[in-house]
Structure 1
Amino acid sequence: MAAALTGCTAGSKSSSSSGGDVELSFLTFETPNLDAAYWDAAIRRASEQVPGAKIKKLVSPVVDRTAYVKQLDSSGQMPDIMPAINPQGFAQAGKLAAFTPQELTEFIWPRSNAIDGKIYQLPYNTQAVPLVYYNKALFAKAGISAPPTTYADFLEVCAKLKAKAITPIVVGGGGKDTWADMYPLIAAIATDVYKGDPRWLAERAADKKSFDDHAFVKAVDKVAQLAKKGYIDKAGLSRSYADTEKAFRDGKGAMYPMGSWFPASADAKKPGFEVGVFAWPADDGSLVVPAFTGGGLSVSAKAPDVELARKWALAFQLDKTNLDAIVKSDGAIIAIKGYQPPKGMGPIYQDTLAVYEQALKKGRVTTAFSQENGDGSLLPGLSDKAALGVQDLITGKKSANQFARFLDSEWTKAEQ
């Protein structure tokens, strides 16, 4: 862990002695799309705009940044600036500084993920979570000429693929990447629960509903039945996220439910690999896209200079070059007024953006189950429990009703 933190003391609040600069610790995370070079360049550009801020870069050694920040906070080492953590719990405990309405005027969804009416995470990036990416060559091999538009069509597509000995749906979930098994469930909840009741999870948080609710169980059972019919690759549950993506690119399955960051990799690799994209179909064929807007920086309420930290966070988040870099590297859909993606973005990114924009205009964009950060979201830690429960659902160890009761039980434990 010390090595992962590049030799720095996590969350240090000391000020630099040179030039009166204030030292602010900035927690980052590295992925194949967002490597050290990306973070170093983005930090440099933001710092050039905010004199007086000296940034100490920290690197999270684990995927679950929220859990890691909790660990640091327990020892008085909470970083001053943090990307894409879940503000739940931290905000209510007064550990995060809220952004002012004036600071949020450039954002398209300035109230996204509000907690008690306040914003603790800059809502700069929208991610469709998930869409369904599909291998056009494998569809053609199975005699499928177009993506499905209803859920009945989707089941027919799965049956045709399986009849040709083609695995219909690729999922992941191995090792630290348990979250990679969640996407069929997130999609089914969007079409079967959130489409009809956008505030369903808020009602669950207020104890007006339970996970044993009929609509929720119906959505969960769709995933269980896909697995039971052999449409989901159960072996994929042992794959890491990177290996799961590679399995799809290598033709190990025809459909890949994944977040809208996938095009950044897909457009850059394996020329000639033709990929299409569609929204997970609803029963009635209506267009529904689950999405999350947020993912931006949060600022500790105990930063040595909170105003300077917020100013630096805004500079980092609004810088056009930084935004272009994350669009190119991570397929971001930027939720900032007037922003246009850089020219030359690949066809899969363009198609992904088109599906999302069509949902905004002609369909419905819902929240994405387990991705919510505002009022009425899952309690901290429950998204990880849900991912473990999905593994049992896909392997047949839990029925839909057992999965629902498991979540209710874990919710009760988390409240205690």
Structure 2
Amino acid sequence: MNKLLAAGAITVAVALTSSGCSSGTSGTDRSSAPSSEGGKQKVSFLVFPSPNLPESYWKAQVELVTKAHPDLDVELVAAPSESERNDYAKQLAASGQLPDVQIGMQDLVALESHLAPWTEAELKDFLCPTCGAVNGKVLQLPTNTQTIPNVFYNKKLFAQAGIAEPPRTYAELLAAAEKLKAKGIAPFVGGGAFVTSQPWTAILATDLYARTPDWMARRRGGQTTFAADPAMKAATQKFADLAAKGYLDKRQIGQDYPKTQEAFLGGKGAMYPMGSWFAAAADQSDMKDDIGVFAWPGDDGSLHLPAFTGGGLSVSADARNPAAAKEFALAFQLTKENLDASVKADALFPAVKGYTPPSDTGPVFKAVYDLWQKAVTEKATVPAFGWEAGDAAMLPGMQGTFWSTAQDLVSGRKNVDQALAFLDTEWEKTG
């Protein structure tokens, strides 16, 4: 899912050419005419290729839309990075080069003047039409739900360590980690960027959001801070302790996201806290039948599964042809074949009325989806800390700061008090 953006890069990778997709450029040329030859309406579409969603995926999905909407001529612009996509999109927006349609991004959504709002009528087919709203305006289509994180585990490595079943309480999770470590098996697979922060997000789900689901709203309103909240400090200490005990390996911080995925699928660690999207790669692997999944357990064993709904397309406020841009975005997000493809390629849970996943999904996706459905039925979903959208999210720029702070905690560069104070300092700078 993630690669590293070269500092200050503005040039985009050459995009794809097909009957419905013309070659990519650096952003959008606002001086060009809004229509292509033959009366077709031009729409530029910024995407972020990843291991699950390579350029070939985006090309195929765009072609599905343009076949059904022959009035559209879509220019697929492939960015050179996924991991720093918020910063990249903000650079394009600041320079007046933001493409007409983009994958939804937290920091860009927060800069609401750059995006066109969606109307109530345009949102009628979505299960949560107001998810991710900013000041009452929905700026990215609330298309998908993801659970962040789940804990994927290697059944064979669990058996080697004498662990008969997934842990149901936090104490059992620690006991399992100790058994794995004693057998010379890395308890967790970790890595750089957002990967390191996944256990922290999980602990905050069970120990903070389960009790205070509006914590982020309180932080945004100045009613609490990272350093002053005892529950935040206790949860963060739990996370730091995982590293101190050797269950999280600081040597893995240098691994990028693809390498962490390869490491888990290669049997180099027993547990992999990761978003539900990992199920797609897991189901394409040889070990798909040996991968289980459980929700990160809290102290009392009750279920609290962090979830995020949003992540859909947004349309530039300066789109050359706003009507055509919205036509494309809605068609892309509501075409059943596209939704089915997103389920299989990125293990998304489409938040679209009347939609059900295809029956031929793999065993890992089915396990993740069933876990989410169980949490929904039991009203046990909570926000996914650091992944929220709109008014429920951290301030722009803070997501990356949260991720880097997680790395500092695991590496030992910061202790808990220093980390929380740093988050507060950066929050005030951003605000």
TM-score (norm 1): 0.95
Residue of structure 1 in register with 2:21 after alignment: none
Return closer, same or farther for 1:285/1:100 CA change in 2, 3 Å cut-off.
same
Trace 1:332-411 onto structure 2 (pairs within 5 A).
Answer: 332-411=348-427
Q: Does structure 1 retain, via aligned residues, the 8 Å contact 2:43–2:324?
A: no
- Give the secondary-structure state (helix, strand or coil) at the position aligned to 2:39: coil
Residue of structure 1 in register with 2:75 after alignment: 56
Residue of structure 1 in register with 2:327 after alignment: 311
Q: Does structure 1 retain, via aligned residues, the 8 Å contact 2:144–2:348?
A: yes
Aligned length: 409
Return closer, same or farther for 1:110/1:362 CA change in 2, 3 Å cut-off.
same
Taking the aligned partners of 2:288 and 2:224, their CA distance within structure 1 comes to: 48
Trace 1:54-133 onto structure 2 (pairs within 5 A).
Answer: 54-63=73-82, 64-86=84-106, 87-91=108-112, 94-133=113-152
Residue of structure 2 in register with 1:138 after alignment: 157
Deviation at 1:146, TM superposition (A): 0.8
- Give the secondary-structure state (helix, strand or coil) at the position aligned to 1:101: coil
Aligned match of 1:167 in 181, 186, 202? 186
Return closer, same or farther for 1:3/1:102 CA change in 2, 3 Å cut-off.
closer
2:201 counterpart letter in structure 1: I
Aligned match of 1:189 in 173, 184, 204? 204
Deviation at 1:378, TM superposition (A): 1.0
Alignment gaps of 5+ in structure 1 = none
What are the superposed Cα offsets for residues 117-164 of structure 1, whole Å, 9 maximum, x if unpaired?
Answer: 221111111110000001111111111111111111111111111121
Taking the aligned partners of 2:58 and 2:109, their CA distance within structure 1 comes to: 25
- Give the secondary-structure state (helix, strand or coil) at the position aligned to 1:123: coil
Taking the aligned partners of 1:395 and 1:50, their CA distance within structure 2 comes to: 51
What are the superposed Cα offsets for residues 232-253 of structure 1, whole Å, 9 maximum, x if unpaired?
Answer: 1222111111111111122211
1:191 counterpart letter in structure 2: T
Taking the aligned partners of 2:237 and 2:379, their CA distance within structure 1 comes to: 24
1:236 counterpart letter in structure 2: Q
Residue of structure 1 in register with 2:301 after alignment: 285
Trace 1:178-217 onto structure 2 (pairs within 5 A).
Answer: 178-212=193-227, 213-217=229-233
- Give the secondary-structure state (helix, strand or coil) at the position aligned to 2:425: helix
Taking the aligned partners of 1:119 and 1:88, their CA distance within structure 2 comes to: 9
Structure 1 vs Structure 2: percent identity of aligned residues? 44
Taking the aligned partners of 1:52 and 1:267, their CA distance within structure 2 comes to: 37
Taking the aligned partners of 1:8 and 1:253, their CA distance within structure 2 comes to: 41
Aligned match of 1:269 in 281, 285, 290? 285
Alignment gaps of 5+ in structure 2 = 1-9, 16-23
Residue of structure 2 in register with 1:412 after alignment: 428
Return closer, same or farther for 1:141/1:118 CA change in 2, 3 Å cut-off.
same
- Give the secondary-structure state (helix, strand or coil) at the position aligned to 1:220: helix
Deviation at 1:273, TM superposition (A): 5.6
Deviation at 1:20, TM superposition (A): 2.6
Q: Does structure 1 retain, via aligned residues, the 8 Å contact 2:288–2:364?
A: no
Return closer, same or farther for 1:259/1:272 CA change in 2, 3 Å cut-off.
closer
- Give the secondary-structure state (helix, strand or coil) at the position aligned to 2:428: helix
Aligned match of 1:11 in 3, 22, 28? 28
Bigger mean CA deviation after superposition, 19-28 or 388-397: 19-28
Deviation at 1:272, TM superposition (A): 6.5
Taking the aligned partners of 2:36 and 2:121, their CA distance within structure 1 comes to: 32
Taking the aligned partners of 2:243 and 2:204, their CA distance within structure 1 comes to: 16
Q: Does structure 2 retain, via aligned residues, the 8 Å contact 1:224–1:393?
A: yes
Trace 1:224-263 onto structure 2 (pairs within 5 A).
Answer: 224-263=240-279
Bigger mean CA deviation after superposition, 268-277 or 68-77: 268-277
Q: Does 1:223 align with 2:278?
A: no
Return closer, same or farther for 1:17/1:392 CA change in 2, 3 Å cut-off.
closer
Residue of structure 2 in register with 1:22 after alignment: 41
Taking the aligned partners of 2:124 and 2:317, their CA distance within structure 1 comes to: 21
After superposition, the CA RMSD in angstroms is 1.5
What are the superposed Cα offsets for residues 22-47 of structure 1, whole Å, 9 maximum, x if unpaired?
Answer: 32211011111111121111112222
1:205 counterpart letter in structure 2: R
1:320 counterpart letter in structure 2: K
Q: Does structure 1 retain, via aligned residues, the 8 Å contact 2:150–2:296?
A: yes
Q: Does structure 1 retain, via aligned residues, the 8 Å contact 2:49–2:81?
A: no
Q: Does structure 2 retain, via aligned residues, the 8 Å contact 1:22–1:304?
A: no
Deviation at 1:50, TM superposition (A): 3.2
Taking the aligned partners of 1:245 and 1:56, their CA distance within structure 2 comes to: 31
Bigger mean CA deviation after superposition, 299-308 or 350-359: 299-308
Taking the aligned partners of 2:422 and 2:372, their CA distance within structure 1 comes to: 32
Q: Does structure 1 retain, via aligned residues, the 8 Å contact 2:12–2:78?
A: no
1:89 counterpart letter in structure 2: A
Taking the aligned partners of 1:216 and 1:5, their CA distance within structure 2 comes to: 44
